[in-house]
Amino acid sequence: MSSALKQMLEQRKKNVLGAKTSSTNNNEFDLKNYFTTYLPDGVNSARKTIRIIGIEGVNPFVETRAHSAKIEGKWKTLFCPKHEDGEACPFCDVREELMSSNSEPQQKLAKDYNAKLVYVVKIIDREDEAHGPKFWRFKHNWNKEGAWDKIMPLIENYADLENDRCGITDNEIGCDLVLNIERNSKDVPVITNVMPLKSTPLSKDPEDIKAWVEDAKTWRSVYGVKDYAYLQVVVEGHTPVWDKEKKTYVSKEKIGMEADESEIEDPASELRMAPKPQSTEKLQAPVTNTESEEEEDDDLPF
């Protein structure tokens, strides 16, 4: 096999064992481009139905690397510029500095700055088919309790190995997936199970299938990768805001300003790349989760 099915099965082996592993500059911010299992405050459960879009010869589960940090009290997933583009990353800089220390506590702290494995998959949200493809981002769960761990057994079970076809992501014989989402004992929304529905085409309209499969958007065009200046402010434990005069990100807390629409770059433009600063301050504050906190499995991308 040299198909998408083979890629997914090999990915399953690799990531269960814990091994490591073209972008566009025109980032598009549109809330409808994002699919999320996030639950708003006061909502304890939800059911969402999706269909993974199959593209011949391509594994739909794109692997990326990202850091986690709190920004204004909310966990955020920040794609790593070092792993994605080979560029400098303040999270990775701090990790390397901590790892080079002879202090065991500092070396242990370095783990908080790791770039963790994240998947991005292109799907159709059955509650919003008219929009077309959306992107769903979720973290790899090393306890084998994540979304990927619940979907991959279905891919294996429904695979047609003889004909080299995947019964879940195949656009003709595949099926929709129902995601059941509930808050766990720590009040964090998690996917409790994934149920496959009956086999159906991706769409009843062949033109829709063609348009969805050939859609040019990539995860990079909707999420983007934040630049060094933005990430540096986050690593310092502050809130990044856009300085129109300096044309770079600065700390909201350091300049003591109240955030408003005229001073903070809107979500759409925050996805654009700002120029890398000529010099940076020494990075200090850890911003990742502690043992007493737990991140949401799928945080808001904006």
Structure confidence by residue, pLDDT tens digits, 141-163: 999 999 999 999 999 998 888 88
CATH assignment at residue 57: 3.90.198.10
Number of domains in the chain: 1
Distant-in-sequence, close-in-space partners of 19: CB < 8 Å, separation ≥ 6: none
- This prediction has a pTM of 0.79
CB contact at 8 A, 3 and 164: yes
The mean-pLDDT minimum among 1-15, 141-155, 157-171 falls in 1-15
Q: Does 17 score more than 80 pLDDT? A: no
Q: What is the pLDDT of residue 302?
A: 62
Query: What range defines the domain where residue 34 resides?
Result: 4-270
- Give domain status of residue 32, yes or no: yes
The answer to whether residue 248 is domain-embedded is yes
Q: Look at residue 278 and tell me if it is in a domain.
A: no
Looking at every residue in the chain, the average pLDDT score rounds to 83
| pLDDT, mean of residues 19-29 | 44
The verdict on residue 62 lying in a domain is yes
| Nearest alpha carbon to residue 118 among 94, 105, 136 | 136
Whether residue 141 contacts residue 188, with contact meaning beta carbons closer than 8 Å, is answered with no
Residue 236 falls within a domain, yes or no? yes
- Tell me, what's the pLDDT at 7? 66
Whether 296 is in a domain gets the answer no
Backbone angles phi, psi at 51, to 5 degrees: -135, 125
Mean pLDDT of 123-130: 97
Cα–Cα dist 302/300, whole Å = 6
- What is the tens place of the pLDDT at every residue in 49-103? 999 999 988 999 999 999 999 998 888 999 999 999 999 999 999 999 999 998 9
Round to the nearest angstrom and report the end-to-end CA distance of the chain: 39
How far is residue 91's CA from residue 69's CA, in Å, rounded to a whole number?
A: 10
Please check the confidence at residue 231 and state whether its pLDDT lies above 80: yes
| pLDDT for the residue numbered 18 | 47
Closest C-alpha among 232, 221, 272, 281 to residue 88: 232
Residue 266 lies in a domain: yes
- Does some domain include residue 291? no
